[in-house]
Each structure stands twice: as structure tokens, then as C-alpha cells.
Chain A
Amino acid sequence: MASRAETPVYPVPWYQGRVASWVATVDHKRIGILYILTSLIFFLAGGILALLIRTQLIATNVDIFAHDTYNELFTMHGTTMVFLVVVPIFAGFANYVVPLMIGARDVAFPRLNALSYWLFLFGGVILYGSWFAEGGAAKAGWTSYPPLSAETAGNGQDLWIVGLHVLSLASLAGAINFLATIHNMRTAGMTWMRLPLFVWTIEIYSALLVLVLPALSAGLTMLLLDRQGWTHFFLPGDGGDPVLYQHVFWFFGHPEVYVMILPAMGIISEIIPVFSRKPIFGYKAIAFSTVAIGFYSLLVWAHHMFAVGLGWGLDIWFMLASLIIAVPTGVKIFNWIATTWRGNLIFDTPMLFSLGFIAVFTIGGLSGIYVAVFPFDWQVHDTYFVVAHLHYVLFGGSVFGIFAALYYWWPKMFGRYLNETLGKWHFWLTFIGFNLAFFPQHFLGLMGMPRRIYTYTDSSWELYNLLSTLGSYVMGLAALIFIANVIWSRRRSPRAVSDPWVADTLEWFTTSPPPPHNFDKVPYVTSARPLRDLRRRLAEERV
């Protein structure tokens, strides 16, 4: 037999090469995957930093990652998790899923979308490049309060500022894109009251980012000028005010907390009904509570500053505003639970992470009540109680939501399933490890252990720290299982069907993964559950 020796007549253009096609892509699905995979790699990096932190705190007077090394670890851990993991991975899910959910061809500005991703990667590279800067990475905490952050020697802090600037631009461009997409590109019949709840949360996520990122950018610019220029916005020796930075930072920083939790709430609002085989309970209540949380999140920033000495007038205002947020949050939790009532509960991994979310996020919400009551916050502010609280909402909330989303949309994104057995191991080890790592930290806080200390001498703090460290190792093991699951899915998993979960929303109407143009045709939407409507119509026709 003669072998084929001819070269193809039509050469493949460069931008369709295996790598180049990813670099040059403006397809929202590919950009979404890039976002998600990049965030997961940073999640691994941030997780390793966390394990190093916990190793240093395993017992009294440990000297493995002491002094400035430790300060760099927790600064980079916090910055990574907020700016390089949770915010961008939601941008990734939003990228992939929102156009599909609303029956659109792509996002409104596909090229801007590509720019957002590449800026995000660039910002992350700048931030991680700071490990090699003169004087090492930033070491003033993820909040970087001046005067400390203004006076830290070396260029790590400057790279931190520049990195965050670039990341802010990435988020801002992405947020504008999502807003334009959601407002203008919904398919025929998809009114606001038929919009999937995940899309609702991305709407508020984007609106908040657009409102508060400029404040962060302003604060960072002033900080950079204080460091490298001749200004003294935050330097009291020359008439500046360090507290001003805290106001600016938290005016961004607190809404940022909701930027990081609302999409996770949206995700479980999609998953719980599908795996309960019921509609979501109180669609409007959940949608409007999302808006309410977004609104109130703009009014509570100084509850991070109760120990600054603002005066009781402001303390009282910020306590009341913070307490109010508990109401719409509670509404969501009760509606999710009511959704499971009398359902046909199927415990696939997405559902396990969603139910786990409800359990641990409730604890994080309740510890939020404690710290909102400002006299009590004077006791636990800047202690491990707050570390526990923020991890219960950020890990127990956001990250549980992220894992739920990964297991839920993985077949859609990659056309292959994740393994359910490994998924269940992943969930249970994460759930147990998480509670072991963070519940004892409440007690450490009550005993008086401040956060951000590289060591301690009080042996009565040792037991809880040991438990916490062991818990973090269990979580690390769970992460390895997830990685194994991803590899399994690449090698062994069967091809995914269009709608493996028998779900309600439009992304399951197309193939897994969808073609570049998403849909050949989109059904007219008559409710918040277009796919179920379609299934019923087909069933009726068959009869």
C-alpha cells in the first residue's frame, strides 16, 4: 500500500493551532475554561501556602516559616484566594454558562472578554513574580494597611499594588461585559423573572464590581504614590490619615465579600432544585434577596473598623446595617431548605457540595452576627474568631459553591463526567477537614489568639492549633483526590450526554460541549425552567 505523502492542500491557519487557538480565542466558552483552569492552578498555589501557614502554627515556637517568610505566606495566601481564585473563577463560570443560560451566541464584547482573561493572567503573573522581587513578596497582609504597607522596604509591595491594579482592570472589563450581555442578549421570552438565579447573582456580582473597583484603584494609586512618589495621603507625619485608606479599602473590600459569595449562592440555587426534582422555592424571594444583599453590602464597610475608634455613632450605624444583611441571607437559606421538602433528593456530588454549603455557610452567617455586634467585635476583631468566620463564608460558602459548580457543569464544559465515587470522597474529606480546620479557630479567637502571628508561646492554644493543622492536611488530601478525578475524567470517563442531570436551564439544551455557535435554535422561553417545559411538551406530543 502506498502511504499518504501529500501535504494538505489547505494549510491550517496559525490561529487554529492547538495552542494558538486558545491564545487567539474570543469564544466565551474557551475563555471561561481558561479562567477556570487558571484559577484552579492559583487555588492550588494558594492552598499550598495555607498548608505551609498551618504547618508553622502546628505547635508553639515552631521555626520553619517564621518572621517575614510567614508574613509573605499569609499575605500572598489571602491575596491569591480573593483576587486570583474566587473572583476570577466566578468570572470563568459566568463566561461559560451565562450566555448559554440566556440562549445567547456569545457575550456582548468577545474581544474585550479575551482582554479580561489575559489581563487576569498577567496580573497573576505580576503578583507571583513578586516572590522574586527585591525584599521578597508583599508582606503587609492582603489588606495592606498603611503606614506599614507604605513603609515596607523592597519592591514586593509595589508589585502587589501593580498586580492588583491589573486584576481590577480585568474584573472591571469582565463585569461590564456581563452586564451588557445580561441586559441585551437574553433570548426571546426570557424576562427578568424567568432569568436563571445564577444569572441574577452574576448581574449583582458585576454591578458591585463596577461600583467598588474604582475605589480600590484609587486607594492603591494613593498607596503607590505614598511609597514611590512624594505624597502622604496615608502618612500621619505629614498630615495624612491612615484611617482614610481603611475606609477606601473596605468600601471596596466589603462588597467584594458579596462579589465572592453571591455567585456561589446562585450556583446552589440552580443545583438544589435540579437534584430535588422540584422547582426552586420562592424564586422571587431569592432573586430580590440577591439585590437586597448587593445594596446593603455597600453600606456596611466600617464594620471592619470597629476597633479603629470611629465613635459609637458610626459603630451603631454599621452594626445595624450589617445585621440587616442577615435577613435576606436567611431568606435564601430557608428557601433552599424548603426546596428540598418532599423532593426526590439525588445525592450526586454537586448536590452534596450544595447541601454542605447550606450547613457550613449558616455557621459562617451566625458568627457574622457576633462580629456585627460591635462591642463583642472589640474582643474578637483581628483574632482567629474572625479567621474562622471568614473561612466559613469564603471556603464553606464560596469554595463549596465552586466545587458544586465544577461537578455540575464539568460534563457540559468538557463533554466528560467526573467520577462520582471520587467526587463523594472529595466532598466528605473536604467537609470533615474543613470543619476540623476552622471550627476550633473560633475557640482560639475567644482565648485571645490574634491572627497574623507567626508563632505563639501559650501552650493552651496548642491543641486547637494542632486540630486545625490536621484538618488542613485532610483538605489537602481532598484536593489531591479532586486532581485525580480530573485526570480520570480525561482518560476514562464516558462521553457526556447533553443533559445528564435532567436539568431546567438552557445550557443543557445544547450538546456537551456545545458547538462554537452554542445553539442551532433556541426555544421560546415561557418560564424560568425552559428545558423542563420543552421535555413536557415533547412528552405530550408523544402521547
Chain B
Amino acid sequence: MPEPVATATLLAASGLTPVKPESPNAERIADLFWFVTFFAIVVFLVVAIPLVVFIVRYRSRGRSRGEEGPQIVGNTNLEIAWTAVPVVILILIAGFTFYKLPGLSLEAPNELEVQVEGRQFYWQYRYPNGAIAIDKLVAPADRVVRLHVTAPDYDVIHSYWVPALFGKMDAIPGRTNEVEFKGKVGTYKGQCAEFCGLQHARMLNQIQVIPSEQFDTWLTEQGAAQTAGRSDLGEQEFTGVCAKCHGDRGQGDIGPAFSAATVSSAQSVEQIVREGRNKMPPVGRGWSDEQMQALTAYLQQRFAQGSPPGG
């Protein structure tokens, strides 16, 4: 890795600069950061240096309170100067923002469109072929992915965000917002950014960008597997939807532990998942039958034998 790149990575990792951008629109936002930072440092120095110099230079040094400084009440030229110069700086910042604006929304003929739904307390994705994913979105590299971000009417506001790829976009019940990215291969982390209740802190998401050809195969297979009921959707649902409150091994946390008895009846599981109970939101409201079956089957397979399997 060449030296400047290593330094940049280190700076980003330490939080001294934004997360390293991996999508053209995120890059433009990072450019804005640097542009504003330049002026912020200049302005800070213009304020801080005179402040410190005057504090040191004009300190009392035992002079009595009665000794007054020169009675200067103002200076019109100075007032004009420190009004006009900030105006110029702000015009530059606004101008640079306008210059960067067009590239902030991406458009391409071969876009992949994904529906993103914020739910208490997970993210649900729906691909064009109907395949569903929870929390982790798999996306093709170097192709514009357009996310339609929303939340169902009966849910609350969330905000979808992956710092390396794009700025956040609220998932608001009754509205659909759009945000795009065009990522490089890698896995990028994000987290719900609008306070959404009890487990807001656990509402993590990630985007795994894989080479485009691999993605096409993966999506076709995933779609077929889900229709046939042999996908890992049940496990995704357990991890993303259930485990945040019931524990990674279903051992119980905010919600009660899973046992053979609680998961034995697919019907009662479905009822609780669709309607919620006490503090539990209706996490499975609006799920398709396949989605529900994937979960009940997984729960039975994992917990029906009594004690939960280790790990």
C-alpha cells in the first residue's frame, strides 16, 4: 500500500476524517468535508490566535481596575470586513456544494432496484425477483443500486445509512425515499440512525458488495431456494428479527427464552410474530407465508429438541 493511502486509511479508521468512501456519491460528500474543513481551520485560527495573543499581551499585570484601556467604540471598516469576508467564504462553500450536487444522485440504465423496509428492529430487503434478505444486503459491484427506503404504516421512523457508501435516508411510514450507491467489492457496516425505540442500538445493517457476475448467480439461486423453502431465510430472520431481544441462542434477554414448548406450535408462533405481545412489536406483520414458514421451520428445527444447541 503506498504511503499516502495508508495514512488516509489510518485517519479514517481513527475517526479524524470520515469513513473512507467506496461509492462515487460518498466520495463527493467526503470532498465537501475537506472543503469545509479547510475554511473551518482557517476561521478557527483567525479567531483563536488574536484571542490568545490579546489575552497574553493585554493581561492586567497588576494594573488597578481603575485603569482603563483606550475608549475605542468601534470601527466601521473592520465591521464591514468581518461581515464581508465570512459572506465570501459562505458563498464559496455553498458554491462548492452546488458544484458537487449533480453527482450526489446516481443514475444508470442497468440499475438494481431494492426495496428497503425499516422495521422494529430490523431491515428487510426485497430484490426484484422477490427474494428477501434481513439486515445484510448483498449487492453487485460497480453497478448503481437504487434503494427505495420506507417503513410500513404501523411502524416508526428509522434511518438507513452505510457511511462508506451513502449518506443516511430516513425510512418514514407512508413515504418512500430513494438513495443510491455504486460500491466497490467489500463489506460495509451501518446502523439505524433515527431513534426507533427499545432496540434501536441493535438495529445494525451491512452491505456486502460482490462482483457483478457472482451477484446475478447468487440472486437467481437465492430466489429459487426461497420459493422452494430450502434457503437460509429462516436463519436470517431468527438472527435479525428474534435474536436481538431473545438472545443469540434464544436463551432469553428482553424477551423470554425459546424452548421446545414455545416453538412447537407453528400457529401460535405465527400469531405472536404477526401481532406482537407486550413489549414485542408485530415484527412479522405483512410477511408472506413463505417468509413465515421459513421462520417457524427454522425455530422448530433449532429449538424443538429441548435445550438450544450450543454456539
Contact = CB atoms under 8 A, between A and B. Distances in A.
B26 to A, nearest CB: 8
Interface in A332-385: 333-335, 337-338, 340-347, 355, 358-359, 362-363, 366-367, 369-370, 373-379, 381-383
A383 B167 CA distance: 12
Interface in A88-117: none
Contacts of B189: 448, 458
Nearest to B120: A148
Contacts of A341: 50, 54, 58, 72
Given A309-B177, A376-B33, A447-B15, A502 B65 contact: yes
B169 A307 contact: yes
Contacts, number: 258
A285 interface: yes
B230 interface: no
Most buried by A among B48, B94, B157: B157
B169 A278 contact: no
Interface stretch (B82-90, B261-269, B290-298, B300-308): B82-90
Contacts of A464: 15
B55 A375 contact: no
A276 interface: yes
Nearest to A285: B79
A312 B168 CA distance: 15
Nearest to B195: A452
A457 B78 CA distance: 51
A320 B201 CA distance: 33
Contacts of B204: 457
A89 to B, nearest CB: 26
B157 A147 contact: yes
B101 interface: yes
A71 interface: yes
A407 B15 CA distance: 37
Contacts of A312: 101
B66 A502 contact: yes
Interface stretch (B16-24, B125-133, B211-219, B234-242): B16-24
Interface residues of A, number: 89
Main SS of chain A's interface residues?
A: helix
A275 to B, nearest CB: 9
Contacts of B163: 379, 447-448
A382 B194 contact: yes
A80 B170 CA distance: 27
Contacts of B172: 236, 242-243, 308-309
Contacts of A242: 157, 172-174
Given A67-B254, A147-B156, A443-B16, A345 B54 contact: yes
A367 B44 CA distance: 11
Contacts of A501: 65
Contact of A277 (B18, B28, B65, B75): B65
B18 to A, nearest CB: 5
A330 B157 contact: no
Interface in B1-30: 13-19, 26, 28-29
Contacts of A284: 74
B173 A147 contact: yes
A346 B156 contact: no
A375 B29 contact: yes
B196 interface: yes
Contact of A307 (B58, B75, B90, B159): B159
Closest 3 CB pairs of A and B: A378-B167, A236-B174, A443-B15
10 contacts: A68-B198, A283-B74, A308-B170, A330-B86, A340-B55, A340-B58, A341-B72, A362-B48, A454-B201, A456-B201
Given A323-B94, A446-B19, 11 more contacts: A68-B198, A147-B157, A243-B172, A309-B172, A342-B58, A344-B65, A344-B68, A346-B60, A376-B32, A378-B168, A460-B13
